[in-house]
Amino acid sequence: MLKKSLLIGLAAGFAMVTGALAADPIKIVYIGKNTGNPYFDSITGGFEDACEKLGCEFEFVAPATAEATSQIPFIEAQIQRGVNVIGIAPNSPDALNQVLDAAKAKGILVLTVNGDLVGNESHRDATILPVDFTKTGPNQIELTGSLIGYEGEIAILSATTEAPDQNTWIAAMNETLKNDPKYAKMTLVATVYGDDQPEKSTTEMEALLANYPNLKAVIAPTTVGIAAAAQVVQSRGIADKVAVTGLGLPSEMRDFIKDGTVKAFQLWSPYNEGWLAVHFALGLLDGSIKNEVGNTFEVENLGTIKIEEKNAMNTQAELTTFDINNIDDFNF
Amino acid sequence: MSASEMPSAPSSQDAAPPRPTWQVVLVRPETMTFLLLIAGVFAGSQLSPFFLDVAYILRSFTLYSEFAIVALVLTMVIIAGEIDLSPAANMALSACIFAWMQQAGVPIPLAIGIGLLSGLAMGALNAIFVIGLQLPSIIVTIGTLTLYRGLAQVIAGDKSIRVPEWFIGIDKVMIGGIPLPVVAFILLAIVLGFVLSGTIFGRQIYQIGTNEVAARHAGIRTARIKTGLFLGIGLVAAIAGIVTASRLGSVRYDLGLGGELQMVLMAMLGGTYIFGGRGTILGTFLAAWLLVIVSTGMIVANVLPAVQLVVLGVLLIVSIVATNFIYSRTQR
Amino acid sequence: MNFLRTLLVRREAGIAVMIVLFCLAVGAVKPQFLSLDQLRIILLLTPLIMIAAMGQMMVIVARHVDLSIGSTLGFSAMVSGMLYRFDVDWFGFDVPWWTGIPVSVVVGALLGFGNGVLIQLFRLPAIIVTLGTLSLYRGLTFIISNAKQIDRQWIPSEIKGLSQTSPFTFPEFLPIVGKFNIPWIVILAFGIAILAYLFLMHTRMGRQIYAIGSNPVAAPLRGINVTQVNLAVFTISGALAGLAGIMYASRWGFVNPSNTGNGFEFQVIAAVVIGGVSINGGVGTVLGTVLGVLLLGCVAAALPLLGIPGTSQAAIYGAVILLALLIDRTVRRQGIVSLKRVRP
């Protein structure tokens, strides 16, 4: 560490001596929700590979815990370090407004990646989301329906009661169930919240089974929830009676798919979010992309990306479905 | 340290010459804190070329200033032989009550008043359990810490409550180039430092902490003074909570989560003796700066949060070993 | 009359009554709470806390406290998890599935011994030392794991099976108890409780722990090696936290550097205090602690069944701790007063 900082110090000194002749590489930093969260390993991989290919400096930092304010000192530090781009998965939709404004005032490009400042979009420049979140709900209902023959009682096991993404999806699920005659025989009997903790998600899942003996399927649109629900079903040996599905990480769900506890679940590619973020940021900085709604640009491996309403971009159109046939093709 | 511990009539045999002034100064725990502070500044500047910047350090101190303000009062509580682990939860609950009130249409000044009163009430509840019922403060405040934060979660749920635009930004108010919360911290430190070292009330606090039974026999109203300290820390925690609300612009139940550890760390690093009777405001004042310098230095150098946890843990243990060592030497 | 007095004085009876009343009250609203299925759910919620609570109880009886157990649990679980994950890279062969159990226990014991050394040799207060090691051990967990989670696929299925399979199952044709089984992990937890009981009640050192807690000053005068006993107590607490660590991997199927064991110390201390172990040292029983753990398990299982939102859970836990403290105080005072009254 000391050696590295000495080197950086030397390099900085050298740069000062030689003046601004040699252009510094663009510095990009991604601030995750917390360290030790396997989801971010994959996003970071996308950032790293894109930066290596396009020639920029990348660093990943994250606080030890994911409470609302824990990211603030990290953002302050990045402003102080003079980075060019801050990518962030915000832990709060509004507590970061002031410090992000300070970053923007310093000319730093602020992108939210894999989660947005819902209702406070003016405090960032653009957002990169894996899919169009209005499609997540219908996609999940369709998958669930296909698993239970479009008939029976279903329940939702979500993250926290105020998780903005999950609530968008749940609202869309309710809408789809109500309006699409295809799902007329499926009834949503309960929506419960496991707070993204394995213990809590497990007790909520057990309570669902006790309260609704005729339950046919549980949708858990959160990686912690789906693993906890699957484990309950596995230990009770009732996989043929209650289908578990939702959004999960292939690395965490592989065993459940292989032993038949879970037939299928969905997600997107977190890797591509990092990949897109770097391409978009560098394009903005060199002027080849204009950050205006309706503009399009090309990204290697992803095709044409369009800047949608509220400066939002998606890496893929529909969710990817994982099952026994393709689970081994994914290494995240 | 106190005069009463010295042998009243030393015989000629063991009469030692009085310690030279330099030695008295050198073996005080505050000196150790001060030296660590210097070392911290040096290490920080070695770790990152972006560290040594007064404006940045002051801005970073603002992020910890609320905890630092409470830690000053906590120092007095610990000197009096008690401990309070609930102020961080108190901050969250007071701020939630305040934010909830103003959102319901209560005028801001009145909402602030109610927030402060609820802080006082939380201090009173601690006092009832600790002084009225004679239960150990460590376990009582572990209980109330859970209760207060739990109540904040009941009131606010998992969502954040916005405060009006004009109320935001107390940390942007500068007095002579120093953010207002930092000024408040310095002023409070001067006032409490004077109270503790220069008044009869202050001396009584030390006596209670050294030997409560003896203090009571000496006519000191121990129950009244301790109750006052618990009420005081409750009120100051509520003020700190509302200051945090102004800095963040929004309130969520997890405001200040884990702050109790930081506060105790500040008091311990400053040489306050965990069993009471010893410690100074100056020590806590220096320790607050030390903690900020160390945390900020590591964050701006992009040191893993894990290393920060290790350094904080080691600092706590080293400081208490040193404090104990110093006190055992000066006691002879 | 004597029976009633015993009830009042014996803390354990009070908790048992509380558990029964609580379960009946919940059962009145939700009849499915009073089923063997729910009993299994409650029992499965408790083993980690019960194992660690046995160690914590000894620490508190000796008039200390161990706040570092959550991080000790995380670190020990991570060492075993990494052993399973990287065994082929490190040693060139797959380690047997049970390796994690002794490894976690030994690692936990070492961390606990570290606490004990700091506390005993430097004469430091346990609360501050373990607050420091809480942070230190958690940081080390991040460092050794490079902040990476050990996923489900690396945890051996035999380890995961301990939370699911049972050494014996009632035959299915039996009414009521048919299909009911008690998983290994629950049996292990109760086994540890029995060992703790035997150790505390029937060994010299067990009794010495109580003696130290009742009067730390007098203990050395009575020929007790305080250093040795305190070191043993913290080592045991660490070892049991380590055992709880590998059981975490069994129960939840993963080890995460950040979540595993985070906040665990509060649950365990709450259970121990509710179980009537006095924070002033010298007082406390294994039975009381077991009942305290079960009461917390009942509360945790009942809340979602009643549809009480998770956001109220912390407030209820806090209120239960304060209530337990109040009851503890009232019962003890009443008990002493009533005993005095009947003395001739």
Tens of pLDDT, residues A111-123: 999 988 888 899 9
Contact C153 A251 (CB under 8 A): yes
Give the Cβ contact number of residue C87 at 10 Å. Answer: 16
C-beta of residue C104 within 8 angstroms of C-beta of residue C242: yes
Contact A68 B305 (CB under 8 A): no
Contact A35 C147 (CB under 8 A): yes
3-class DSSP assignment, residue B314? helix
Nearest to A210 among C37, C149, C309 (CB): C37
Tell the residue number behind the tokens 């609930």, with chain if given. Answer: B86
Q: How far apart are CA A245 and CA A146, in angstroms?
A: 11
Contact B249 A62 (CB under 8 A): no
CATH 3.40.50.2300 for domain A14-131+270-316: yes
Give A119→chain B minimum CA distance, Å.
11
Please name the residues between 12 and 71 in chain C that touch chain B, using a CB distance below 8 Å.
65
Radius of gyration of chain A (CA): 22
Residue A72 with chain B: CB contacts under 8 Å: 63
Cα angle B239-B252-B230, degrees, rounded to a multiple of 5:
35
- What is the predicted pLDDT for the residue at A73? 92
Please give the structure tokens belonging to residue A66. Answer: 């994911």
% helix / strand / coil in chain C, to the nearest 5? Answer: 75, 0, 25
Kindly state whether C325 is in contact with chain B, defined as any CB-CB distance less than 8 angstroms.
yes
Give A211→chain C minimum CA distance, Å.
7
- What is the predicted pLDDT for the residue at B13? 47
Give C13→chain B minimum CA distance, Å.
22
Kindly state whether B310 is in contact with chain C, defined as any CB-CB distance less than 8 angstroms.
yes
Largest Cα–Cα distance of chain C, in whole Å? 75
Contact C45 A198 (CB under 8 A): no
The dihedral of CA C64, C65, C71, C76: what is its sign? positive
Q: Which residue of C has its CA nearest to A207?
A: C305
Per-position pLDDT tens, chain C of length 344:
455 555 555 678 878 888 899 999 999 998 988 888 888 889 988 999 999 999 999 999 999 999 999 999 999 999 999 999 998 889 888 899 999 999 999 999 999 999 999 999 888 888 888 988 998 999 999 999 988 899 888 999 999 989 888 887 666 666 656 567 788 999 999 999 999 999 999 999 999 999 999 988 899 888 899 999 999 999 999 999 999 999 999 999 899 998 899 889 888 988 998 888 887 788 899 999 999 999 989 988 888 888 887 777 778 878 887 887 787 677 666 554 444 444 33
Q: How far apart are CA A71 and CA A88, in angstroms?
A: 9
Contact B50 A59 (CB under 8 A): no
Residue A261 with chain C: CB contacts under 8 Å: none
Give me the CATH topology for the region A133-267: Rossmann fold (3.40.50)
- DSSP for residue B272: -
Give A145→chain C minimum CA distance, Å.
26
Within chain A, all domains assigned CATH 3.40.50.2300 are found at 14-131+270-316, 133-267
Contact A36 C259 (CB under 8 A): yes
Nearest to B275 among C125, C257, C314 (CB): C125
Q: Which residue of B has its CA nearest to A62?
A: B305
Nearest to A64 among C258, C301, C309 (CB): C258
Nearest to C304 among A38, A207, A256 (CB): A207
What does the pLDDT average to over B209-236? Answer: 95
Nearest to C319 among B147, B306, B317 (CB): B147
Kindly state whether B275 is in contact with chain C, defined as any CB-CB distance less than 8 angstroms.
yes
pLDDT at B65 over 50: yes
Kindly state whether B313 is in contact with chain C, defined as any CB-CB distance less than 8 angstroms.
yes
Residue B254 with chain A: CB contacts under 8 Å: 67-69
Tell the residue number behind the tokens 């809340």, with chain if given. Answer: C303
| CB–CB contacts below 8 A, A to B | 97
Please name the residues between 143 and 202 in chain B that touch chain C, using a CB distance below 8 Å.
143-151, 153-154, 157-158
C-beta of residue B141 within 8 angstroms of C-beta of residue B78: no
Phi, psi for B134 (deg, rounded to 5): 60, 40
3-class DSSP assignment, residue B83? coil
- Which of A244-258, B104-118, B202-216, C326-340 has the weakest average pLDDT? C326-340
Helices (H) and strands (E) in chain C, counts: 15, 0
Q: How far apart are CA C30 and CA A211, in angstroms?
A: 9
Q: Where does residue A274 rank: exposed (0-12), middle (13-18), buried (19+ CB within 10 A)?
A: buried
Q: How far apart are CA C35 and CA C41, in angstroms?
A: 10
Residue A227 with chain C: CB contacts under 8 Å: 152, 253-254
Q: Read off the pLDDT band of B22 (50, 70, 90).
A: low
- Residue (of C191, C185, C233, C234) closest to C208 by Cα position: C233
Contact C136 B317 (CB under 8 A): yes
Nearest to B317 among C118, C266, C325 (CB): C118
- DSSP for residue A293: T
- What is the predicted pLDDT for the residue at A37? 83
C-beta of residue B296 within 8 angstroms of C-beta of residue B57: yes
C-beta of residue A111 within 8 angstroms of C-beta of residue A85: yes
Contact B150 C316 (CB under 8 A): yes
Domain residue ranges of chain C, discontinuous segments joined by +: 47-271
Which chains pack against A, by 3+ Cβ pairs within 8 A?
B, C
- In chain A, which stretches have pLDDT less than 70? 1-23
Residue A250 neighbours by CB under 8 Å, 6+ apart: A267, A322, A327, A330, A331, A332
The DSSP-derived string for C135-175 is HHHHHHHHHHHTT--B-GGGS-HHHHHTTT--S-B--TTST
Nearest to C163 among A37, A207, A235 (CB): A235
Residue B17 neighbours by CB under 8 Å, 6+ apart: none
Kindly state whether B331 is in contact with chain C, defined as any CB-CB distance less than 8 angstroms.
no
Average pLDDT, chain B: 88
Please report, as a single letter, which amino acid is at residue A253.
M
Tell the residue number behind the tokens 């947005």, with chain if given. Answer: A116
Give A66→chain B minimum CA distance, Å.
10
Q: How far apart are CA B122 and CA C81, in angstroms?
A: 43
Give A49→chain B minimum CA distance, Å.
20
Contact A35 C142 (CB under 8 A): yes
Q: How far apart are CA A251 and CA C88, in angstroms?
A: 19
Could you report the per-residue pLDDT of B278-309, keeping only the tens digit for each?
A: 999 999 999 999 999 999 999 999 888 888 88
Residue B247 with chain A: CB contacts under 8 Å: 98
Q: How far apart are CA C84 and CA C91, in angstroms?
A: 11
Q: How far apart are CA B221 and CA B208, in angstroms?
A: 9
Reported ipTM: the value is: 0.83
Domain residue ranges of chain B, discontinuous segments joined by +: 50-290
C-beta of residue A40 within 8 angstroms of C-beta of residue A72: no
| CB–CB contacts below 8 A, A to C | 88
pLDDT at B5 over 50: no
Contact A211 C303 (CB under 8 A): no
